[in-house]
Amino acid sequence: MSSESTEAWAGWYRDRAGAEAVAITATGGQVSTCIRGVEYTGTTFAALRSESGALLSSCVLEWDMPLPVLRDGAVQHATLGCLLTLGEPADGGGAGLDRSDLSLTLHHGGAAYEVAVSDGDFDDALGRIHRQLPPDAALVRREPAQA
First CA to last CA distance, the chain: 16
pTM: 0.86
pLDDT at site 94 = 62
Instruction: Please tell me the predicted confidence (pLDDT) of residue 92.
Output: 61
Encode pLDDT of 69-115 as tens digits.
Answer: 999 889 999 999 999 999 998 876 567 888 899 999 999 999 999 99
Return the top range by mean pLDDT from 1-15, 40-54, 71-85, 111-125: 71-85
Return the closest-CA partner of residue 30 out of 12, 10, 47: 47
Ordered strands of the 18-27 beta sheet: 49-50, 38-42, 30-35, 18-27, 6-15, 59-66, 79-86, 100-108, 111-117
Q: How far apart are CA 130 and CA 69, in angstroms?
A: 10
Alpha-carbon Rg for the chain in angstroms = 16
Q: How far apart are CA 115 and CA 96, in angstroms?
A: 23
